């Protein structure tokens, strides 16, 4: 672990069941990371009351009082003009002004993207940030982007996502030569929307051509055949939420099956360790926390409906980014491409 003082700024008010969810998640995280400073942004009295009422034990924290919140229904103009006292705005401003820090929020995705871009700035050569996260597959994991930051993209945006994904992947798994694919309804070159075909041509004619496998159908996402999966944010978000729903459906039905009879319960006891490994592989809570890649700073998006444990995983992801200087490495690596 780094000897630097690392600070994680947390939007305590964002998402469902907050601030309890964010504070309980912080308690879970801080159990094994007591030297990391947690800085909560939100209604100070509300935060203190929740900590005291639930007897939460968070060893190293402070609270920055914020006069307002970003609401789910806020439009971009409202976010930019009238939310400068919000937990998202103040938290990101802190990260902009302080090294060895990062920001985590389960709040309004549009607000997080708009204000992250405004306050942290973009890597030179990148037009838009993309929500990027690892997803499990049969072999190990893949990176997928965009997962919801940009509902509409053009071919150059997808090409930039490919560059950022390639740069990031080469840092976190330098021994693997990553394969890059675009998610589409078919693998033929003439399939899909026009912007996908144009992005296909851009990547095919770039230095990434030897890494590019072309179009990838959604049913191959978890096969391990592709390491970096590209999509617009609308498609990516639908795929992500569908996968989460299927994961919950599978695990809940398995529980019901093993509870049906004594024989099934005995079978569960025999398979318990393997089933736990399987559950961890497909448990979306463990993968909660996606980085807004392309920024000159660390901004992590948690699901708004995340549980306290899932939120703790998002904080852990932020910690890993800070501790390993991943964002600076991405920036430097991208500039060297």
Same domain for 280 and 146?
A: yes
Contact 304, 107 (CB under 8 A): yes
Confirm whether 171 is domain-assigned. yes
pLDDT of residue 1: 47
In the chain the first and final C-alpha atoms are separated, in Å, by 29
Same domain for 108 and 145?
A: no
Helix and strand numbers, DSSP H then E, in the chain: 11, 11
Same domain for 281 and 139?
A: yes
- In sequence order, which residues have a C-beta less than 8 Å from that of residue 174 and are 6 or more positions away? none
Same domain for 15 and 57?
A: yes
Same domain for 204 and 158?
A: yes
Same domain for 94 and 192?
A: no
Render the burial of 208-238: b for 16+ CB within 10 Å, e for the rest: beebbebbbebebbbeeebbbbbbbbebbbe
Same domain for 39 and 13?
A: yes
CATH of the domain at 271: 3.40.718.10
Same domain for 238 and 121?
A: no
Closest CA to 141 of 242, 243, 217, 228: 228
Same domain for 84 and 183?
A: no
Q: What domain range includes position 202?
A: 135-285
Confirm whether 261 is domain-assigned. yes
Q: How far apart are CA 216 and CA 225, in angstroms?
A: 9
Same domain for 269 and 145?
A: yes
pLDDT of residue 261: 85
Q: How far apart are CA 134 and CA 291, in angstroms?
A: 10
Q: How far apart are CA 62 and CA 60, in angstroms?
A: 7
Q: How far is CA 79 from CA 14, 15, 109, 191, in A?
A: 14, 16, 11, 38
With both helix axes pointing from N to C terminus, report the angle between 262-282 and 233-258 in degrees, rounded to the nearest 10.
Answer: 160
Q: How far apart are CA 53 and CA 56, in angstroms?
A: 8
Q: How far apart are CA 26 and CA 33, in angstroms?
A: 10
Same domain for 243 and 304?
A: no
Confirm whether 228 is domain-assigned. yes
Q: What is the DSSP track for 280-330?
A: HHH-TTTT--EEEETBSS-EEEPPTT--HHHHHHHHHHHHHHHHTTHHHHH
Burial of 58 (0-12, 13-18, 19+ CB in 10 A): middle
- 180-183 vs 212-216, strand pairing mode: parallel
**Average pLDDT by stretches of 10, the chain with 337 residues:** 83 94 97 95 96 94 92 79 89 96 94 93 91 87 91 94 92 91 90 92 94 94 92 92 82 80 80 71 79 94 93 95 89 78
Contact 200, 182 (CB under 8 A): yes
Q: How many distinct structural domains can be found in the chain? A: 2
Q: Cβ of 61: how many Cβ atoms within 10 Å?
A: 19
Map tokens 């675009």 to a residue.
Answer: 182
């Amino acid at each position: 672990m780094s000897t630097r003082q690392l600070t994680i700024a947390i939007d305590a008010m964002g998402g469902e069941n907050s601030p309890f969810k964010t504070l309980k998640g912080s308690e879970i995280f801080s159990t094994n990371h007591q030297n990391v400073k947690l800085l909560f942004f939100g209604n100070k009295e509300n935060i203190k009351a929740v900590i005291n009422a639930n007897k939460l034990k968070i060893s190293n924290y402070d609270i920055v009082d914020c006069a307002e919140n970003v609401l789910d229904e806020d439009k971009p103009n409202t976010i930019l003009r009238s939310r400068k006292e919000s937990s998202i705005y103040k938290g990101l401003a802190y990260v902009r002004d302080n090294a060895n820090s990062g920001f985590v929020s389960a709040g309004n995705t549009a607000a997080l993207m708009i204000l992250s871009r405004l306050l942290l700035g973009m890597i030179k050569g990148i037009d838009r940030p993309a929500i990027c996260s690892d997803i499990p597959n049969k072999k190990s994991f893949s990176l997928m982007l965009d997962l919801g930051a940009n509902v509409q993209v053009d071919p150059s945006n997808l090409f930039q996502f490919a560059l950022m994904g390639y740069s990031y992947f080469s840092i976190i798994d330098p021994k693997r030569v990553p394969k890059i694919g675009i998610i589409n309804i078919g693998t033929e070159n003439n399939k899909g929307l026009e912007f996908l075909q144009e992005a296909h041509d851009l990547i095919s004619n770039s230095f990434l051509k030897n890494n590019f496998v072309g179009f990838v159908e959604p049913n191959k996402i978890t096969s391990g055949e592709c390491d970096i999966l590209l999509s617009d944010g609308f498609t990516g978000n639908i795929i992500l939420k569908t996968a989460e729903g299927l994961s919950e459906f599978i695990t809940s039905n398995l529980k019901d099956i093993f509870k049906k009879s004594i024989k099934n319960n005995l079978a569960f006891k025999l398979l318990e360790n393997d089933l736990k490994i399987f559950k961890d592989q497909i448990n979306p809570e463990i993968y909660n926390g996606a980085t807004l890649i392309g920024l000159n700073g660390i901004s992590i998006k948690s699901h708004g409906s995340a549980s306290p444990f899932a939120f703790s995983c998002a904080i852990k992801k932020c910690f890993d980014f800070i501790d390993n200087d991943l964002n600076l490495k991405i920036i430097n690596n991208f500039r060297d491409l």
